[in-house]
Structure 1
Amino acid sequence: MNRSYAESLREFMKRKWLSFPILAGCLGLIAVFYILLPKETAPYDDRSLFA
């Protein structure tokens, strides 16, 4: 496992420039999910109000 990780890291370091498009893609997906996913996680019936 350590050898596999070291080899993959060595290969990635040969193409360091790929980190910027990957980071931009992750930030873009975060923005899309922030817009599309509902903000409230509690159900509408459970608002901690006395009725």
Structure 2
Amino acid sequence: MSRSNNGGSEAVRDPYITMTPMFHDKLDIDVKVDVDEEHKGVIIRMNKVEARS
């Protein structure tokens, strides 16, 4: 993902993306994040993980 900053554009690291392992490991929820550049939006999908054995 890129973000505009003072007329420039550079790749940025989004700290919220690293939260997905916490959702999976602690809450049994899979999280998928898709960036829609065309519509300038983000789609977040959260699904409960099947029961663990």
**TM-score, structure 1 as length reference:** 0.31
Higher helix share: 1
- Whichever of the two has the greater Rg, that structure is 1
Higher strand share: 2
